[in-house]
Structure 1
């Protein structure tokens, strides 16, 4: 494992490059708890995970630290909803009204009030799920009223193969949809396209490889 100095330098460089209002979500999925601990020592508090079992073990291994800000960024299976709600205060991957109803019911049972971002698919991409813009508009009144969920924003992932201007246009389209719905949070941009996302007003860029390096094979 690379020494803490390299990670600290990359964190500092990323923070200096991000505009005001754009937060860094360190994607720690596939990385060991020890590396997350190094990032915390360098001042990082917000982390993204996509596998419940891995994340729960990591959170337990880091329980001696001050509470961290954990975000669930993977595809959320309905049968994992309760576990995800118990371990994450923010969910970036709400991709259907039926899932929203389930999350709201379970959150009520658990006494939780999670922040959720709706995943939108603004370009054809068979590898991704999510609402189209029209689907989200059509169900928005019901979804926004699903207490105790707090619908705070949108998340989108640019399909592979887009050029930088196309990614920028996509992210701006997502930002416009969020503004239309009165939402303030935007989870857009990853290691390869965070610059375009930040330019379009993303409030969270999800960066893993560019920060931690390749994922650990054993994870």
Structure 2
């Protein structure tokens, strides 16, 4: 199946209010351009160093919206704030405060998803539910963040039913906090995430196929999709 056919098939299967985030990390700008020509506007990258040349190569496509989905290191915040409209992986109050402070300096206001862990998983960052509730009064005071939703990933080893239950917990917590969006569901569990209330599906291999570029082992890739 061609890239175009895969994209059309996925878009046709999306429920109302559910958006496809094309995870383009590991794939060249030429493929992103192909999808953009079909109408795809939202693309996800997890490494700033890899993303910046693509953003430059595709600068003529004014309708693109770039989402940062990787683990965000403190020394990369300014670059991400400058280049990405949406950040899916804000996993601590300290990181949120740094993003807001730099956003003031850069005169922008990025949209932010707060990363939450609903199961113990040492390989991934994120707030616990209790940590998020404790930090919430401080988070909503940050003037240069648009808090729009929660992001979560299911640990390896869960069944599809367990993943859907986890995704349902994320949707429930987002609703409690008055957040409209849930970024959850990847190529192996996107249907379960959609049925549980996801509004953003992060799809990479299901859409693009095998990665065209060399895979990085950087910690920036920990939220790989």
Q: TM-score, normalised by structure 1?
A: 0.96
- Which of residues 103, 107, 111 is equivalent to 1:107? 103
2-side partners of 1:59 and 1:67: how far apart?
12
- Which of residues 129, 136, 140 is equivalent to 1:140? 136
2-side partners of 1:42 and 1:100: how far apart?
34
* Matching residue of 1:30: 26
Return 5+ residue gaps in structure 1 as ranges. none
Asked if structure 1 preserves the Cα contact closer than 8 Å seen for 2:111 and 2:146, the reply is yes
1-side partners of 2:37 and 2:3: how far apart?
10
* Matching residue of 1:208: 204
2-side partners of 1:208 and 1:162: how far apart?
20
SS in structure 2 at match of 1:153: strand
* Matching residue of 1:188: 184
- Give the deviation of 1:7 after TM superposition: 0.7
- Give the deviation of 1:138 after TM superposition: 0.4
Asked if structure 1 preserves the Cα contact closer than 8 Å seen for 2:27 and 2:213, the reply is no
SS in structure 2 at match of 1:30: coil
- Give the deviation of 1:43 after TM superposition: 1.2
Offset from partner CA, 1:162-211 (integer Å, 9 cap, x none):
11110110000000000111100100000000000000110000000000
SS in structure 2 at match of 1:74: coil
1-side partners of 2:156 and 2:55: how far apart?
31
* Matching residue of 1:121: 117
Q: How many matched pairs?
A: 215
Asked if structure 1 preserves the Cα contact closer than 8 Å seen for 2:28 and 2:213, the reply is no
1-side partners of 2:179 and 2:34: how far apart?
33
2:169 equivalent to 1:173:
yes
2:126 equivalent to 1:93:
no
1-side partners of 2:62 and 2:80: how far apart?
20
Offset from partner CA, 1:73-132 (integer Å, 9 cap, x none):
000000000000000010000000000110110000110000000000000111100000
2-side partners of 1:26 and 1:132: how far apart?
27
Q: TM-score, normalised by structure 2?
A: 0.94
- Give the deviation of 1:144 after TM superposition: 1.3
Offset from partner CA, 1:19-45 (integer Å, 9 cap, x none):
111100000001000010111111111
1-side partners of 2:214 and 2:74: how far apart?
26
